[in-house]
Structure 1
Amino acid sequence: MRYPLLAPSFVKPVRMIMALALTMVLGGGLAVATAPASSAAVRSLPTPVGLPVAIEPLAAYVEQVSCQPGYRTGTLALARMLVTTYPNTSYAGAYACGTNGNRSEHYDGRAIDWMNSVRNPVQAAQAAAVIKFLMATDKYGNKFANARRMGIQYVIWNNKIWGSWDGTWSDYHGCAKTPSPALDSSCHRNHMHFSLSWNGAKGRTSFWSKRAFAAADYGPCRTREFNWGGNYTSFNAQRCPSYPKVTAPAGSSAVMKSLVTYSGAGIYPGQAGRPISAVQQALRVPVTGRYDATTVAAVKRFKQAHGMVATSTIGYGTWRTLLAVFKPKA
């Protein structure tokens, strides 16, 4: 199992409160800084009334392949519950596709970053309470009960990652050896990252619906010819085939390489991100990273010139034509 890529870095500074903190070890060896003795008063996240005896298995890991940034029902419900319970925190997560790396559940609406710093004793204690809540065994003997009921796929916090694939905490990219505050964002010391399964993101789990969903939803799949898949359209009970990363042919231009990197991504007006930048470079319009009116007009002209219906969306057909046009000549 390879670890998910780093979540986007933040330019917004997190206020640090200088104070001594104790450390404690939570489920599977996660070391976090906690508040002094008063931390016992830290609230826990609320447990819904009427949860069924039935419970979901640990979520299957499903990598992001589509470009649909935003907050899905379950993702937003988790974010709001965190900041409602802990009003001294905030959340983020609707990042433009390709913001930092080619894969992140932020890009398809299945991830949030809870802005909470390990260097702030109060916030560190809150993080400890959230982890305890997620990882606790419930009264029915179910390990990781709330994580399962929410469809948590993985959590990254304070140099560690917990994954549903094995239910353990592991070192995150060597972060324990890099204590510098300058790396607090990439090592997730100033925010806790949550990625959800498709069921969890859609709010289709027992924590939100009071009904356990045993069947995994594997979301949209990508095809062999593209690096990104289309948009989420309906429940998919079949695990997606695994294909090698598509690379640009030898002799490709920078534009062709960029197109291949984001090939297949579904794009529609109002979106933003690097897939749009790649198309803008190809069509020689200002590279803003936003699918604005100028870019829509250029896409329509391109489609018309190549015998396609001049719609504003970019799907597999448009990508095939773009790649054919910019493919290096033999």
Structure 2
Amino acid sequence: MRLQPLRQGLVVGVSAVALVAAVPIASADPVPEGTSVTDAGPAPVHADEHEHSHADIAGLQALGDPFAEGLTLPTDPFVVPGESESDNLVRGIPQSPMDWRGAPPDPGQVPQEWLVEQPATDIVPSTGAELMSADDGYIGGGFADLGAGPRLTEADLMSVPAPPTKDLPNTLDAAPPWQYSYSCDPNNKPGMVAFANLVSSHYGKPTWYGSRACRQGDNSQHYEGRAVDWPMNAYNPSEKAIGDAVAQWITANNGEVARRFGVQSIIWNRQSWYLYKPGSWHPYYGASPHTDHLHISFSWDGAMGRTSWWDGTPVTAHDYGTCRVYAAQYAPRYQGFNGSVCATGLPSAPYSPNPVVLPGANNNYVRQAQTYLGFTGTDLDGSFGPMTLQALLNYQAAKSLPWTGVLDNATWAFMIAAGVPPEPTPPPPAPEPEPEPAPGVVRISGSNRYSTAAELASTFPTGKQLFITVGGDYPDALTAAARAGSLGGPVLLTQETVLPDVTRDAIKALKPSRVTIVGGTGSISGSVLSQVDSLTTAPVVRVGGADRYATAGALAKTFGNRVDVLYVATGLDYPDALAGAARAGYNDGPVLLVKPDSIPDATLSAIQAINPYRVVVLGGPSVVSDAVANQLKDLTRSGNLQRVAGHNRYATAAELAKYYPNGLDTVVVATGQAYPDALSGAARAGDSHGPVLLVATNTIFQPTKDALAQLNPKRILVIGGTEVVSTEVETLLQDYVG
């Protein structure tokens, strides 16, 4: 058989910033990752001798493991004991890779059978009917009779839809060796997500679960975002028929379809299958019998969607994924195609008196690390959440340490050598209280958007957290304003590659406790970040993504993993989100962006990470459709959705202002005809617990007048010069000050 020359696997580079923006944190009540969440979870199953106690299940589900696949819950699942303290859970080599317990082995310990590779080969692609009738798959091999649940009739199997089909090349992808999970990188990978959405939609079972928070003593592909759990009840005939049929389709003909997707293993109904030995199924002896779901894991090529099913180009050169730098330590997070087999016989990590600590921990070790990372005040909380993870990844990148996102031995050793204090330093004294605002109408303006933002920032006390975003576009600044308002800090504006002098001077004057650059390198260059870093002793971090949706998602994740309220606006225009940013800051909630008729993947990932109790949609159905609103509602913990909309931007801002109490201190007024001034004003409004209202240059529209009359504020803060809000409007506003 002659093999045709083929293109190698596509190299996908992922920047550190882009990966930081995609960090999920396990919530206490996990949310399904699929296209629909109408299924609350797996159907009830019959208890058997392999099931967990209720206490174990509850504990593991609290870690984001809805199927409780671990047998016991560690005392602290986020702290990895030292070598002398840990149990050697593996006394010998198990029969199959998924039976391995404990940290993954060194590649040199893995049996050669598990490392078998199969080259790309020319074939005539099988039809769906041929695959379903093949005698070497799950059904054809007779393994369905070995599992739990009812014996299925031919009618049961015929009721299942025919498998998905498409035109495929005549060359079958190469099959990789078994690929253990060596890193802690719980971000759903695109190929896994695409496969999960395909089969869950095709077979009418839309709920699925992907990545999970890492925990010690385990090596699941879920911890790298390259495994999916698909709820399926082996005791329900119709669901068992689907599970059996999908297992047959993927594994038949020596795993022909598995190679098309990069599927490396399946566990279903007490049976397991592996691509490295594709001709048979084997009894599975793990803690969970998998009678309530299919577990499907992917190679790195499959996880990244780099296989012939997706792009028509068969894999010929494998992506070996992440490799350890030090023996028995976590590997760096995935950053792109790796065509080299992982090395064996690695050196030991530098000595550290502290244990390895995983994201999700809450203890004094984390507090000690936070101190070195520059955290102060209430941020020094000992919680290894999104903000700490982001700071750690930035630190590891800056110090050329393995980019693991884990407080590992190498990172601890470097920190301690650099002088990490043994105990957290006391928090700085509380800043002086802000003076009472002057009553009346006050205008704050500068010669341009950058100086106006700087003037507005000067009204904040020193020592606050500072947010810097690009002044040439609105999306990043919208979400920055919400976060700044929630933390009582200002927003400054910069150009993409030049830090304006007024912004430079404002940074020096503000003496911030922390600086967050909001936006990816395409919005704010690395040279601007370096300039900012040179102006302050405070830590400077970047929160950004590949686009406006990803940047908003990354910033939203800094609010924690159980927010009370989420505000959602269109990402295609700014007016509705202007007022929403102020309200979000007031309620300590993030702003996320959607498209009129769809929720971008980055936004969906962020919603799942922050697990909101309720959602407020800003704007009418023309900017956020009812279909999108209903999807958002289903993603909340309470099923509570509220839409705030008026017939135009002025009316929408006025409608949102109705939710503020009468007689409040400050209302911020800005033009509704441009965004820069109102963006900076939204942070001020959020901190002042007041709304943003919009006016035209020479006119106050009736909805704004009505809102001002109802609110009866002590002060109205006009943002911008007379060319955007005229003196005539300023005079009219005097009538509405209480």
Q: TM-score, normalized by length of structure 2?
A: 0.33
Q: What's the counterpart of residue 76 of structure 1? A: 193
* Paired residues for 1:30-109 under 5 Å: 31-32=146-147, 33=149, 35-39=152-156, 40-48=158-166, 50-98=167-215, 101-109=217-225
Note if contact 2:332-2:404 (Cα within 8 Å) is conserved in structure 1: no
Quote the residue 2:293 is aligned against: 191
2: CA distance between counterparts of 1:248 and 1:157?
A: 41
2:385 aligned residue: 290
Change (3 A) 1:314 1:91: closer
- Hey, what's the Cα distance between the residues in 2 that align with 1:116 and 1:248? 45
Aligned to 2:308: 206
Question: Quick one: which amino acid aligns to residue 198 of structure 2?
Answer: M
- The answer on 1:257 being equivalent to 2:355 is yes
Report the number of matched residues: 272
1:58 to partner: Cα distance: 2.7
CA–CA separation in structure 1 for the residues paired with 2:347 and 2:230: 31
User: In the alignment, what sits opposite 1:180?
Assistant: none
Counterpart residue type for residue 102 of structure 1: D
**8 A Cα contact 1:89 1:115, kept in partner:** no
Residues 198-251 of structure 1 deviation map (CA, whole Å, 9 limit, x = unaligned): 1101111111111111211101211125611112122111110134796997xx
- Alignment-derived partner of residue 154 in structure 1: 265
Matched, 1:144 2:255: yes
- Where 1:45 maps in the other structure, the secondary structure is coil
Distance in 1 (CA, whole Å) between partners of 2:356 and 2:43 is 37
Using the TM superposition, give the Cα deviation of residue 16 of structure 1 relative to its aligned residue in structure 2, in angstroms.
3.1
Percent of paired sites with the same residue = 27
**Structure 1 residues 245 and 46: CA distance shift in structure 2, 3 A:** farther
Between the aligned partners of 1:170 and 1:222, the Cα distance in structure 2 is: 30
Measured against aligned partners, the alpha-carbon deviations of 1:127-168 in whole angstroms (never above 9, x if no partner) come to 01101111222xxxxx31101111111111111211112223
Deviation digits for residues 38-66 of structure 1 (CA, Å, limit 9, x no counterpart): 31121133022x20110013332111112
Aligned partner of 1:133 in structure 2 is: 249
Q: 1:247 to 1:61 in 2, by over 3 A?
A: same
Residue 323 (structure 1) shift: 6.7
Query: 2:331 — aligned with what?
Result: 229
Secondary structure of 1:234 counterpart: coil
Tell me: CA distance 1:314–1:232, structure 2 relative to 1, closer, same or farther (3 Å): closer
Does the 8 A contact of 1:153 with 1:164 survive in 2?
yes
Residues 42, 125 of structure 1: 8 Å contact kept: yes
Scaled by the length of structure 1, the TM-score of the pair is 0.69
Q: Displacement of 1:109 after TM fit?
A: 1.6
Q: Please give the alpha-carbon distance, in whole angstroms, between the structure 2 residues aligned to 1:277 and 1:151.
A: 39
- Over 3 Å counting, the alpha-carbon distance change for 1:73 and 1:308 in structure 2 is closer
RCO higher in structure (CA 8 A, sep ≥6)? 1
Task: Work out the CA distance in 1 between the residues paired with 2:41 and 2:207.
Answer: 13
Matched AA of 1:15: A
1:90, 1:116 within 8 Å by CA — same for their partners in 2? no
Unaligned runs of 5+ in 2: 1-28, 31-39, 47-137, 371-379, 421-738
Output the CA distance in 2 between the equivalents of 1:166 and 1:37: 28
For the 8 Å contact 2:176–2:276, the answer to whether it is kept is: yes
2:238 alignment partner, one of 102, 106, 122 = 122
Work out the CA distance in 2 between the residues paired with 1:92 and 1:245.
36
Deviates more, 1:163-172 or 1:73-82: 163-172
User: Which of 366, 371, 381 is matched with 1:280 structurally?
Assistant: 366
Contact 2:211/2:225 (<8 A) preserved: yes
- Cα pair 1:69 1:106 within 8 Å, conserved: yes
* Residue 308 (structure 1) shift: 6.1
CA RMSD of aligned residues (A): 3.8
Q: 4+ residue stretches of structure 1 with deviation over 6 A?
A: 244-249
1:16 correspondence with 2:128: no
Distance 2:416 2:242 in 1: 49
SS of structure 1 residue aligned to 2:249: helix
Read off the aligned partner of 2:242 and give its amino acid letter: Q
Separation in structure 2 between the aligned mates of residue 194 and residue 94 of structure 1, nearest angstrom: 12
Task: Verify: 1:169 aligned to 2:169, yes or no.
Answer: no
Query: Aligned partners of 2:226, 2:282: CA distance in 1, in Å?
Result: 22
Structure 1 position 84, deviation (Å): 0.3
1:27 is aligned with what amino acid? Answer: G
